[in-house]
Structure 1
Amino acid sequence: MTSFPVLPRSFYENPNVTSVAKSLLGKRLVAELPEGKTVGRIVETEAYEGITDRAAHSWNNRRTARTEIMFGQGGKVYIYLCYGLHHMFNVVTNKIEHPHAVLIRAVEPLEGEELMAKRTGKELGDPTITRGPGNLCKALGLSKIHNGVDLVSGIIRIEDDGFQVKKGAVLATPRIGVDYAGEHARWLYRFILKNNPYVSKTKSLTKK
């Protein structure tokens, strides 16, 4: 079976969270769990810029049992339960005490789609199978028990298979569901691969 390079710690320690969020597009998110291996190409991300970002859990240096993982080493998994219903998979970025993170909002299935369909109760080829962070986590079998997993050496990892994102294919938009963040809700911190069917649907898009 073909193996691909795992993104190194230095990739995640980049202090520019929007650069990390854009660079994650096209990479392979791999979950190798007891049920089987599932892989999806990342097609939608959102950046959260730590203590200066009202949309971030760590805004204003907020430290709780839940957010403490964000203040740690870049390259760790941060998973939380949203509204008691949906798990949200995030990648911790930057260095210790700089709580940046990137939410992975959607992937395009590459391997293990039958297992994804079984987990979600959806049909093969249905774009909603991994569209949106809740569906993504359900399809890949990710939950709070994976909080803190090291992406550099763990059962969950992000790989680079050499996929090239074409020039002009990345769009930047405001993030979804963060209206409470005031003017920060309008930041163009969501990045998508243009015209990919697995990306969440929005009314307006801005080219980046």
Structure 2
Amino acid sequence: MPSFDPIGFFNREVTVVARELLGARFLVDGVGGRIAETEAYHPTEPASHSHRGPTERNASMFLGPGHIYVYRSYGIHWCFNFVCADASAVLIRALEPTDGIEIMAERRGVASLRDLCSGPGKVGQALGVTRSAHDGLMIDAPPFSFAPAETPSPAVIGPRIGITKAADLPWRFGIAGSPFLSKAFRPG
């Protein structure tokens, strides 16, 4: 089996990567699961954190494909993205928990498997992601473990949620029928 090339995988158009991340396995220190939902962000649209160029907050978005970008959402939750070509990024919105479930439950203070990672802030908390520990690291280096999906997952596609700018772009991707999505997709 050929080794995974993170730069090659992530150095592509962000919506292609966001779709292909569905079903990939992602772990932080052995805790995580299968990616169930993603959202794509490109610097040409105003919802992207890289839209206005480099800042102290978004500097890792300009380090190149395969890096992790971590930011604080609403001053409360750590959310993380995989950096792609051209300072674009894919937000990980939901995971299907598979590894370290007891650790995730303790970190989140919930017992329901569905509630562990069904939203970007929940994913960050369940995996123990923080800006100081993880922002700017490469995805193929410890403490991360990443394996692309072996086969494409059936997908649902819709507009992004939880934002006000460019929210109509159909750049949200989820595994069809997954009970682990952050929210149901609107019928199109």
TM superposition score category, shorter chain reference: over 0.9
Superposition deviation, residue 194 in structure 1: 1.2
Deviations 1:115-169 (A, max 9, x none): 111111111x43011100111111111111210111022312321362x234xx2
Match in the other structure for 2:35 = 42
Rounded to whole Å, the distance in 1 between the matches of 2:149 and 2:22 is: 12
Matched, 1:133 2:120: yes
Count of aligned positions: 186
Rounded to whole Å, the distance in 2 between the matches of 1:68 and 1:5 is: 28
Match in the other structure for 1:113 = 101
Superposition deviation, residue 5 in structure 1: 5.3
For 2:155, the aligned partner's letter is: V
Shift in CA distance, 47/140, structure 1 to aligned 2, threshold 3 Å: same
**What is the Cα-based RMSD across aligned positions, in Å?**
1.7
Helix, strand or coil: the match of 1:25? coil
Helix, strand or coil: the match of 1:150? coil
Cα contact 1:44–1:199 (8 A) shared by 2: yes
1:55 to 43, 47, 60: 47
For 2:34, the aligned partner's letter is: R
TM-score, scaled to structure 2: 0.92
Rounded to whole Å, the distance in 2 between the matches of 1:25 and 1:5 is: 19
For 1:142, the aligned partner's letter is: V
Superposition deviation, residue 63 in structure 1: 2.0
Cα contact 2:105–2:126 (8 A) shared by 1: yes
Cα contact 1:171–1:205 (8 A) shared by 2: no
Cα contact 2:37–2:95 (8 A) shared by 1: yes
Rounded to whole Å, the distance in 2 between the matches of 1:88 and 1:6 is: 24
Rounded to whole Å, the distance in 2 between the matches of 1:19 and 1:70 is: 18
Superposition deviation, residue 99 in structure 1: 1.1
Rounded to whole Å, the distance in 1 between the matches of 2:145 and 2:187 is: 29
**Structure 2 unaligned residues grouped into runs of 5+:** none
Rounded to whole Å, the distance in 2 between the matches of 1:205 and 1:105 is: 19
Identity of aligned residues (%): 36
TM-score, scaled to structure 1: 0.84
Matched, 1:154 2:146: no
For 2:11, the aligned partner's letter is: E
